[in-house]
Amino acid sequence: MANGSGSAVASARAPARDPAWRGRVAWLVAGCVLLWPMFVLTEFRPWQMLDSRSLRVTARFLAGFMPPALGLEFLKQVAVETWRTVAIATAGISLALLLAVPLALLATAALSVSSLAGRMAAGPFVVRQAARALMVALRTVPELVWALVFVRVVGLGPTSGVLAIALTYGGMLGKVFAEILESCDAHPTRTLLANGSGRLQAFFYSLLPQAAPELTSYAIYRWECAIRSSVVLGFVGAGGLGQLMDGSLRMLRASEVSTILLVFIGLVALADGMSAWLRRSLR
Amino acid sequence: MTSDVRGLTLQLDQVSVRYAGTPSQTRAALQQVDLQIGSGEHVAIVGPSGAGKTTLLQVAACALRARDGRVLLDGEDPWALDARGRRRVRGRLFLAPQVPPLPPRQRVVTAVLAGRLPAMSLASSLRSLLVPSDIAGAYAALASFDLAERLFDRVDRLSGGERQRVSLARALLTPARLWLLDEPLSGLDPVRAARALQVMREQAQRRGATLVAAMHQVEMALETFPRVVGLRDGAVCLDSPASQVSPEALRRLYAHVPPAQQPDEVPAEPAAEPAPVAMLWR
């Protein structure tokens, strides 16, 4: 509003405080009031880990892990199983992407043509909600449970692990992809749709250029999670590093376990570096 | 079909628009607007800020649904059609919004060729992402706006005025026959602005397209366009050939606006409280 040059307009006084402060303080107090009983109920007493008895037990436990087992035979085995784990995770994530991308495109409101001119029409709304519901159903069941089911169906081996990862991660990737697309700047997309282009055309020409770094880094993060999942799935017979670790733990060979863990940390660090490099180069 | 080559006619009958969520005491964004624009006509829409120029263009582009009244494009009501028919109608018009709708990381050549998407199949548009399908066409379009050397640059490396010109250059590649330009000269210096307007008029004339431009620059609008429509507080209060617009009519159009909001060409009026208006910017 223009103010000044000695006109007859009365100048309004600046408001004394932010109108939103009451609500914010109320939420903060409510949050603290809710958190405190949770700490008490779960017997959250971390200082107990630092008394001398538990420190001694911890030290003895950790001593068994050093030095890590470096025998040639064992290292060859670890290499083969690492490759198998990475293969399970990669195959699982590839299938998950095949599932997630169409579901995300179906579910995202960013490509809605009916909401260009007002509220979304009923039909498209139902379709989008159905796609969301499917993704919820897929990711609700933990992959361990899926793997146990598939092991009964297809037997022990990597297939059950790949299928379990594909289903669960398909639901997760789809939901987050749909929300990433909705969080992009909608203006270029809406302009293209308002000028008569198709939905997929609008996706490739305006949503994808904006969302590419986010989509890629999330997909790589989930690939990293899939590696961790396939290690866990190895404990139920899906093969890979998990199965190897299961064996070493049963035979109480802590040094072998620490080798496997170090390889594992290396894998995750590799995934992290790849994600950072891809984000940089897509910028 | 000859109607594909001819410019679209635009007709608004008693169109009223109220944005969802506006309190009832604020006035509607458009109030019973009647407007008739013939095929191939070039019209400028002028008026103070908040008058409803953007709303008018969005209603004409089927990007906003009028609460009352009808919008007829070439005699047919797009809202009476099914979704596919509406998409076909949208493919025949081109809306250039106030803010250039360009994704930051995209290259200028792809951003300009995106204007042709309604006429391309999905497969050819995907192929064009890999290898631009019509580099010569994009080059020619940008050359008329003095941006040819920026063909392969990224959009976020351009200045605001350059982005505005790229957004206008898209129009030269569309199959559209109704061009709706919202503030096409924002961010452009006076020389570039005059040139851009001249290019748009020439190209629209060559294609036989109907051109409707909403702008703040009243002087330039009167100079360039054969017909001027004045909007004020959501209603049409001026609709005549540019040569017949009197300074008195312009003063009435911009009256009761605080001095800072008036364009320079109109003599100042004593300031008063402007009416509250709810606006949702796109």
pLDDT tens digits, residue range B182-221?
Answer: 999 988 999 999 999 999 999 999 999 999 999 988 889 9
**Would you state the pLDDT for residue A169?**
96
Query: Which residue of chain B is at minimal alpha-carbon distance from A187?
Result: B101
Chain B residues in contact with A185 by the CB 8 A cut-off are 103
Which DSSP string corresponds to B202-240?
HHHHHHT-EEEEE-S-HHHHHHH-SEEEEEETTEEEEEE
Chain A residues in contact with B106 by the CB 8 A cut-off are 205-206, 209
Question: How confident is the prediction for chain A on average, in pLDDT?
Answer: 88
**Would you state the pLDDT for residue A69?**
80
- The CATH homologous superfamily of the domain defined by A72-282: MetI-like (1.10.3720.10)
Task: Please report the domains of chain B, with CATH numbers, ordered by start residue.
Answer: 7-92+176-282 (3.40.50.300), 105-174 (no CATH)
Chain B residues in contact with A212 by the CB 8 A cut-off are 105
Task: State mean pLDDT over A84-99.
Answer: 94
pTM of the model: 0.81
Q: What is the CA radius of gyration of chain A?
A: 26
Chain A residues in contact with B91 by the CB 8 A cut-off are 195-197
Query: Which residue of chain A is at minimal alpha-carbon distance from B118?
Result: A197
The C-alpha atoms of residue A88 and residue A81 are separated, in whole angstroms, by: 10
**Would you state the pLDDT for residue B28?**
82
Does B93 sit within 8 Å of A200, measured CB to CB?
Answer: no
Does A195 sit within 8 Å of B115, measured CB to CB?
Answer: yes
Q: Which of A191, A192, A280 to mutate to test the interface with B (most CBs of B within 10 A)?
A: A191
Task: State mean pLDDT over B132-157.
Answer: 93
**Would you state the pLDDT for residue B282?**
43
**Would you state the pLDDT for residue B153?**
93
Q: What angle do CA A40, A41, A43 make, to 5 degrees?
A: 65
The C-alpha atoms of residue B180 and residue A201 are separated, in whole angstroms, by: 22
Q: Does B270 touch chain A (CB under 8 A)?
A: yes
How large a percentage of chain A has pLDDT more than 90? 46
**Would you state the pLDDT for residue A13?**
86
On the question of pLDDT at B264 being above 80, the answer is no
**Would you state the pLDDT for residue B268?**
47
**Would you state the pLDDT for residue A186?**
93
Q: In this predicted structure, which of A245-254, B16-25, B136-145, B156-165 has the lowest mean pLDDT? A: B16-25
The reply to whether omega before A67 is within 30° of 0 (cis) is: yes
Does A185 sit within 8 Å of B65, measured CB to CB?
Answer: no
Query: Which residue of chain A is at minimal alpha-carbon distance from B111?
Result: A205
